[in-house]
Amino acid sequence: MKSLFKVGLSKGKEEFIKGKLNAEHAIGLGQTPNVVPPGEADIEEHRTVEIGWHPVPGGQWIAKTALAKMITDRIHNYPDPTQHWAVIVGDYCHQLWMDEDLDIIYINEKLVKDKWTKYEVGKTKLNDEAVRQAGEMVIFQMREKQKAYNLISNNCQNFASNMLDAVQVGKHKELGTSLAVYQRVIGKGKVSDLFLEKLPEAEEQDERPPDQVVEHASQVMDETTPKLGTNETPR
């Protein structure tokens, strides 16, 4: 029994290493250049916040591993790793990605509209630089709990929900406080007092409290992400 267990562990490790190398080559793991123009965090008029997804080539290897089989056996389904989610504000996409060690990182990219399937989920008054800083802070907070990417609990959908919660109208005062603390911790940058003074008090958007906005976005992602291990298709 012990020898079979060791063989199983060895095989699982080999599958993971092989899959990791395949993923690195197929989807281009690692940090990418920031494309948001440099500037100061500031407040603007209401802007639309969307969540969007696009297919990711190379994610199929996860579905073939022993890990995927174990997850399917235990919970019967898991999110399709080939479907990648991001938060979209203005001309930029903000997203969770992975470095070469499969630890989560924040990246952004210029929006290519026909690449993404998008859903409007809320509003923000933050400018592009403030949204970028919020994205970095959200990843920092997620890494404090768990650095490694996890298909179930530390993935792009989790990031999108957390980031929407941070940037949406109704949470700007809380974001300002969190950003100030975050930047003191990492010793990089400083939120200006003027920016903090401009942040509006709590308010609702579209007659929905902030928690309902995040709940709606999470529901959209869950309903439109295929689950592997079942016969479900996007609805």
Backbone CA torsion sign across 8, 11, 16, 17:
positive
What is residue 205's predicted lDDT score, i.e. its pLDDT? 58
Rounded Cα distance, 194 and 152, in Å = 39
**Of 152, 142, 145, 30, which is closest to residue 80 (Cα–Cα)?**
152
CB atoms within 10 A of CB 57: 10
Q: What is the pLDDT of residues 155-206, one digit of tens each?
A: 999 999 999 999 988 888 888 889 988 888 888 777 788 888 888 776 655 6
CB atoms within 10 A of CB 227: 17
Q: Which helix (H) or strand (E) holds 94?
A: strand 92-98
Q: Supply 193's token pair.
A: 């007092």
Q: Which helix (H) or strand (E) holds 5?
A: helix 2-23
Rounded Cα distance, 218 and 220, in Å = 5
Is-contact 122 205, C-beta < 8 A? yes
The rounded radius of gyration (Å) of the Cα atoms in the chain is: 19
Structural domain tally of the chain?
1
**Is 106 contained in some domain?**
yes
**Is 175 contained in some domain?**
yes
What is residue 76's predicted lDDT score, i.e. its pLDDT? 47
Q: Tell me 103's DSSP state.
A: B
The range of the structural domain enclosing residue 172 comes to: 2-228
Residues of the chain with pLDDT under 70: 1-28, 57-81, 202-208, 227-235
**Is 207 contained in some domain?**
yes
What is residue 86's predicted lDDT score, i.e. its pLDDT? 95
Rounded Cα distance, 186 and 124, in Å = 25
Is-contact 85 53, C-beta < 8 A? yes
**Is 234 contained in some domain?**
no
Contacts of 25 (CB under 8 A, 6+ apart): 58
Q: Supply 100's token pair.
A: 């070469």
What is residue 150's predicted lDDT score, i.e. its pLDDT? 84
Rounded Cα distance, 171 and 186, in Å = 22
Complete DSSP assignment for 121-188: EEEEEE-HHHHHHHHHHHHHHHHHH--B-BTTTBSHHHHHHHHHHHHSTT-HHHHHHHHHHHHHHHT-
Is the pTM here over 0.75, yes or no?
Answer: yes
What is residue 213's predicted lDDT score, i.e. its pLDDT? 84
C-alpha distance from residue 56 to each of 20, 34, 82, 116, 212 (Å): 15, 20, 5, 11, 29
**Is 233 contained in some domain?**
no
